[in-house]
Structure formats: C-alpha cells, structure tokens
Amino acid sequence: MELYLIRHGIAEDKDLGIKDEERSLTKEGRQKTEKVAQKLVKLGLNFDLILTSPLVRARQTADILIAEKLSSQLEESSHLAHDGEISSWLKDWLEPRNYSQNTQLALVGHEPDLTNWAEILISGEVKESLVLKKAGMIGIKLPETGSPLGRSQMFWLTSPKYLL
C-alpha cells in the first residue's frame, strides 16, 4: 500500500483573528494547489481514497484534488487534525478496512503531524529531519505484512516548486 501525505496549501495567516480550524486557503494557496494537483494528474497519480483533516484549509485542499479527478472518494478523519496519533489512525481506521497491497491513499493534513507520521513509519521515531512545504507531498510504501511502524519506505518527497 502507498500512502501519500499531502500538506494543505497556503492558508490565511494565524494573526488575522480567525479560529485555527476555520482558516481558509488564500487565493495564492488555491492557485498553487490547483497547479500541483494538475501536475499529479499528468504524472498519472490516482488515489483510491483521499482522507482529509476536518479543518477548513485541509478540506479545501482535498476538494481541489477531487475536482482535478485525482480520486472520486473523499472522507474526513479527526485523526488528521492537529496532534493526531498515527498509532490511533492505524488501529481505528486503517487496520479495520483491510485494503489491498496496491491501494493508494492520500492523507491531507498539517505540519508537523505529517512529517512526524512519515518518520514514525520509516524509522519508528520522530527525528524532525523531514520538511514538508505547503502543498508538498511525501510518498510512503507500507510493508505487505506486519506493523508498518519503522518498517515503511519513503519513495517520494516533493516540494511544490518541483511540481510547478
């Protein structure tokens, strides 16, 4: 199984007095995310499911991916909101669904959670060594059997500037 961890696009500034969970993508954030999504389509990506944080900016990013036809299925997961635990997501969401090995899932969320999840999947611990820019993506291949924690392989880390 392949997981694509996608950070939301550029959002409204925290200093504008807007509640964090209600911050929207900016015009630039929408445009850049649309261009990234179009490039992913050209690269032949297609996700079996896009799972998104319920926060507005992540949901808007996921909606752009859906609009560009990168998937026809979209679900929200509170596990992808701030401070979500990967072990909880694996136990509550991933394991019960028993996906096939050729499944491609896109997870749209936030930093530092997405890079923390990637590092836990790859090395079993958070090392704070990965950087994921807004509208960037990390691809992780999960092992066929057993726990993916510390046993997964990163195959993609892309800043949006390399996709535009």
For residue 20, the tally of other CB atoms under 10 A from its CB is 13
Token representation of residue 51: 């799972």
CA count, 13 A, side-chain hemisphere, 66: 16
CB 75 within 8 A of CB 53: no
Tell me: is residue 151 an annotated ligand-binding position: no
Token representation of residue 67: 């609009």
For residue 45, the tally of other CB atoms under 10 A from its CB is 20
Q: CA dist 159 to 17, 36, 50, 102, 164, Å?
A: 29, 10, 19, 25, 9
Annotated binding site: 57
Annotated binding site for substrate: 57
